[in-house]
Amino acid sequence: MVSHSLAFTVQQFDGALALLTVTGEIDFTTAPDLRDRALELSRQGSRHLILDLAPVDFCDSSGLNALIGILRCAKETGGTLALAAVPDRLSRLLDLTGVSQLMPAHADAAAAMSAHSATHGPAAAGPAVRHLRAVATPQDGADVPEAREAP
């Protein structure tokens, strides 16, 4: 059995902004974890979300569906979703489906942060109180560990 995993690193900034770095493969086994983690951040007050996808190795249509679900929930709470460092294959998928018209994509996380600041005012110079790392390993029989403080 192939083991699929997805890891998240969260940086929360003053105000309602969070940067979620996603590492691994986003497919039918891990896409629900991405959606759940993003929605959890929203429930915790981070209405504006930037997804840094630089370390994403693969994303299929399930991942695309998760992104659309995250965007829909962000808009319902008056928030936004922006993407950073979108891998080429995913960028083409976003363009072909028209989803690229719904959520801005930036060259990297710094560019996404700058664009957010230009639109919504500056975030804190650095991450606020929490810098979290969570690892999800669905479908392999193990429980998914809770988010914990990063060193």
Give the DSSP letter string of 112-130. Answer: HHHHHHHHH----SS--S-
pLDDT at 3 over 90: no
Structure letter (DSSP) for residue 144? P
Q: Which amino acid is at 110?
A: A
Give the model's pLDDT for residue 147: 44
Q: 123: pLDDT confidence band, cut at 50, 70 and 90?
A: low
pLDDT at 71 over 60: yes
> For the residues 100-121, what does the mean pLDDT come to?
93
Residue 150 sits at the vertex; the CA angle it makes with 149 and 151, to the nearest 5 degrees, is 120
Pair of tokens at residue 135: 């690892």
Q: Which residue has the higher pLDDT, 26 or 5?
A: 26
Evaluate whether 9 touches 40 at the Cβ level (below 8 Å): no
Give the model's pLDDT for residue 15: 75
Backbone phi, then psi, for 49, in 5-degree steps? -130, 135
Q: 120: pLDDT confidence band, cut at 50, 70 and 90?
A: confident
pLDDT at 149 over 50: no
- CA-nearest of 91, 90, 73, 84 to 116 is 84
pLDDT at 130 over 70: no
> For the residues 70-94, what does the mean pLDDT come to?
95
Give the model's pLDDT for residue 127: 47
pLDDT at 61 over 90: yes
Give the model's pLDDT for residue 60: 94
Q: Which amino acid is at 4?
A: H
Provide CB contacts within 8 A for 92, sequence distance 6+: none
pLDDT at 37 over 50: yes
